Copies of this chain bind each other. A is one copy, B any other.
Amino acid sequence: MLGLGLIGGSVLRAAVRAGRTAWGYNRSADAIAGSREAGYDTGTDLIAALHRAAETGALIVIGVPMPAVDPILDAIAEHAPNNPLTDVVSVKAEVAAAVARHGLSATYVGGHPMAGTNQSGWSSADPDLFQDAVWVVGVDDDADPDVWRQVASLALDCGSVVVPVESGEHDRAVARISHLPHLLAEALAGVGAVSPLALGLAAGSFRDGTRVASSSPDLVRAMCEGNADALTEALDEALAVLTRAREELVHERSTRTLVTAGHRARLLYEEHERFDISGVEPGDDGWLEKFRSAGRLGGVVRQIRSASPG
């Protein structure tokens, strides 16, 4: 596990709890001290961690923010270029492109656990973070079925369900349901926190609407800026919706269109139901396209036949 922040640290904890042999690397000695004290096999020596991976054929998981991905890939390309490789970064197309630049695509299948808190760092890591969460596993062209099984198996061991999604589709969807929420929360915080009076009157709607603005600004920026094109599209749509609402409010003193559509959309979210994907296994004829179609419709994978041991 390369990177032991909130997500990487939680993966290490969950993997070890599931009975896997796992070890971790982190740049910061502080995180290492904390994780070692808690009994985990971790260190600040990236090369040693990679050599061990190369010797054992272990699945390598990249868990650093987007701006730190390239140097990590440099090291992997040098010291463990043939290992199965995945990541837990919140954007997928940009990671896949970086992996390709490093010649590592053949053994790479991207991942993204849709879980988090507004905390960061090893001290917030929680082996239950992924329990019942959705873990996206990439189904881009030429994905290797065996690597796919290994990545999905890790996600399942961490307590998640797996949603198979192609990188570009993932990025467009999370721009809307994860990155745009962050931008709106930041904007709401700024417009609301204008006076002690406003801060003192703020109740549930402001608290919940700005919650993610308390996340580390560096991590929010890394996430949003790594998905700039898809996020621009989602933001433009939000601006268009809010501008139309503004016109209706000013000229008709009404919020009908926005509120009616928003309420209906929230009910869709509350009523959304997953279904289990069955009848297709990694490596079957057309498995990538079948997984993509099922993922698009709300399907999840809850078990994998004959997963490789971790």
A binding-site residues for B, Cβ under 8 Å? 114-117, 133-134, 136, 163, 165, 169-170, 173-174, 176-178, 180-215, 217, 220-221, 224-225, 228, 231-232, 234-239, 241-243, 245-246, 249-250, 253-256, 258-263, 265-270, 272, 274, 295-298, 300
Contacts and interface: CB of A to CB of B under 8 A. Distances in A.
A215 B264 CA distance: 11
B208 A209 contact: yes
B181 A209 contact: yes
A275 to B, nearest CB: 9
Contact of A256 (B115, B221, B242, B245): B221
Given A180-B191, A189-B262, A200-B295, 18 more contacts: A165-B201, A177-B202, A178-B203, A178-B206, A181-B192, A181-B209, A182-B205, A186-B259, A187-B258, A190-B262, A191-B234, A193-B269, A196-B297, A209-B212, A210-B265, A217-B259, A220-B263, A224-B255
Contact of A186 (B163, B194, B231, B262): B262
A200 B274 contact: yes
A141 B78 CA distance: 76
A170 B207 CA distance: 18
Nearest to A297: B196
Interface centre among A212, A232, A237, A259 (most CB of B within 10 A): A259
Describe A's contact surface by its main secondary structure.
helix
A183 B255 contact: yes
A246 B250 contact: no
A215 B253 CA distance: 20
A258 B200 CA distance: 23
A177 B196 contact: no
